[in-house]
């Protein structure tokens, strides 16, 4: 702080002499240099230091200027000049300290946010398709190749589509809550969770008319007690073909083709007559056991066959209910148990595995698409 003017004035103004140990300007500057020299450790530390010297109210530098009143008039100019120089030095030093602090804060922040690129990566575990989805897609591919399209229907159905138009008589036991989950019995056509995918036959045929060739995979619900081979929620794939001149022979040929594509070319299909209200004739369809090739084993309970579907020629009443003339068109339909097929293809023993979400089971299918 070499102030020539001040030096010249000094002898005449002993009060303001900077050589005096308790000269107020010198002592403020000296105290600041010492404190600032120690540095600041934090933003609040810095703010305290800045406030102590430059604070408008109680700062030591403003106090110097206030003290100018006590300096004899002839020394005031010199004192003022030195106080200004001190103020400038302190302000500049404070600005530098602030910049340094800011740099350190940025560095600290960057260090905290830094990614350690030398750490080993966390491998993302890929999910997989559910076995029922895998099997559904395979079945869809097979039927798409045969010229079918894929249809969908609501899981919350009404009595008309689930039963009535499918030729179920009013007193049929499936209409009882023993077998069906009713949601609203008082609706004009009572609402229930569909017990099979067959109502999609009605919806598609009524909407699109004949000729028609569709499959309709989906979830179905039955009021069953759950065990290794029964679930209250399971999956079916419905098939429906309505064209001129369709017969049971077309059904058999289609099912044989389908089994061969899904289980292997040597697989045989067996049809045993049975009753479903919406087909005539109706059949229970079984595939020759894929484990023992029909010789008989534990999986097929020594029968050589595994039952997979219901099927038949579409009942004329169903065609009529959908506005299709049964004299002109005939058709076949089938309903396949999807979960059963998955059990068979993958050889697992309990249907409940499909519902439990156990990763140890499901991850075994992750590599399949
Ligand atoms: N809907 C029948 C069932 O759930 C299966 C079936 C479908 C039978 C189509 C014949 C024709 O059991």
Asked if 58 contacts 66 with a C-beta cutoff of 8 angstroms, the reply is no
Which residues have a Cβ under 8 Å from the Cβ of 198 and sit 6 or more positions away?
Answer: 162, 166, 238, 278, 333, 335
Tell me the pLDDT tens digit for each residue of 271-312: 999 999 999 999 999 999 988 888 988 888 899 999 999 999
Q: State pLDDT tens for residues 211-230.
A: 999 999 999 999 988 898 88
Q: Measure the CA–CA gap between 295 and 44, rounded to whole angstroms.
A: 87
Distance 280 CA to ligand 1 centre (A): 12
- Cα-to-centroid distance, 283 and ligand 1 (Å): 9
Q: 273 and 283 in contact (C-beta within 8 Å)?
A: yes
Alpha helices in the chain (DSSP H): 4-9, 24-38, 43-54, 60-66, 73-113, 131-145, 159-162, 199-208, 248-263, 316-321, 338-346, 353-356, 359-362
| pLDDT tens column, 19-38 | 555 788 999 999 999 999 98
Three-class DSSP category at 182: strand
- Biggest CA–CA distance in the chain, Å, is 133
State in Å: Cα 327 to ligand 1 middle. Answer: 23
Q: State the pLDDT confidence band at 177, using cuts at 50, 70 and 90.
A: low
The model carries a pTM of: 0.69
Provide residues with CB under 6 Å of ligand 1: 196, 198, 276, 279, 282, 310-312, 333-335
Q: Strands, DSSP E only, in 186-288?
A: 191-193, 212-221, 233-243, 269-274, 279-288
Strand partners of residue 193: 156
Nearest CA to ligand 1 atom 10: 311
Identify whether the C-beta of residue 306 lies closer than 8 Å to the C-beta of residue 286: yes
pLDDT tens across 322-358, in order? 999 999 999 999 999 999 999 989 988 899 999 999 9
Compute the distance from residue 15 Cα to the ligand 1 centre, in Å: 114
Per-residue model confidence as pLDDT tens digits over 58-94: 999 999 999 899 899 998 999 999 999 999 999 999 9
Sign (positive or negative) of CA dihedral 16, 18, 20, 25: positive
DSSP structure class, residue 26: H
Which DSSP helix (H) or strand (E) runs through 265? none
Atom of ligand 1 nearest to the CA of 236: 4
Q: Which pLDDT score is estimated for 178?
A: 66
> Residue 230 carries which DSSP code?
B
Q: End-to-end CA distance of the chain, in Å? A: 82
**Does position 10 have pLDDT exceeding 90, yes or no?**
no
Q: Are strands 191-193 and 156-158 parallel, antiparallel or unpaired?
A: antiparallel
The answer to whether 236 and 338 have CB atoms below 8 angstroms apart is yes
Scored b (16 or more CB within 10 A) or e, 301-311 reads: eebbbbebbbb
């Amino acid at each position: 702080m070499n102030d020539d003017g001040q030096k010249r004035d000094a002898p005449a103004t002993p009060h303001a002499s900077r050589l005096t140990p308790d000269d107020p300007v010198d002592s403020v500057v000296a105290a600041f240099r010492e404190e600032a020299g120690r540095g600041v450790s934090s933003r609040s530390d810095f703010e305290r230091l800045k406030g102590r010297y430059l604070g408008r109210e109680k700062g030591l530098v403003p106090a110097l200027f206030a003290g100018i009143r006590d300096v004899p008039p002839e020394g005031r100019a010199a004192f003022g000049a030195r106080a200004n120089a001190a103020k400038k030095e302190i302000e500049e030093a404070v600005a530098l300290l602030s910049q340094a602090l800011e740099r350190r804060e940025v560095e600290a922040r960057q260090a905290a946010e830094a990614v350690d690129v030398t750490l080993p990566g966390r491998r993302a575990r890929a999910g997989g398709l559910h076995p029922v989805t895998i099997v559904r897609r395979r079945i869809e591919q097979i039927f798409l190749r045969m010229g079918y399209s894929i249809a969908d229907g609501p899981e919350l159905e009404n009595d008309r589509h689930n039963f009535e138009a499918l030729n179920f008589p009013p007193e049929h036991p499936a209409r009882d809550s023993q077998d069906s989950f009713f949601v609203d019995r008082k609706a004009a056509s009572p609402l229930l969770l569909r017990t099979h995918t067959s109502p999609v036959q009605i919806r598609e045929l009524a909407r699109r008319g004949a000729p028609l060739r569709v499959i309709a995979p989906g979830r179905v619900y039955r009021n069953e007690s759950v065990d290794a081979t029964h679930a209250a929620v399971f999956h079916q794939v419905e098939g429906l073909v309505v064209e001129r001149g369709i017969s049971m022979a077309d059904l058999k040929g289609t099912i044989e083709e389908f089994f061969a594509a899904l289980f292997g070319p040597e697989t045989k299909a067996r049809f045993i007559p049975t009753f479903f209200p919406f087909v005539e004739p109706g059949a229970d369809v079984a595939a020759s056991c894929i484990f023992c090739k029909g010789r008989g084993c534990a999986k097929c309970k020594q029968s050589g066959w595994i039952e997979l579907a219901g099927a038949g020629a579409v009942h004329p009443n169903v065609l009529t209910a959908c506005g299709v003339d049964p004299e002109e068109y005939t058709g076949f339909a089938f309903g396949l148990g999807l979960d059963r097929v998955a059990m068979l293809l993958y050889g697992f023993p309990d249907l409940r595995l499909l519902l439990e979400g156990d990763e140890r089971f499901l991850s075994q299918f992750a590599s399949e698409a």
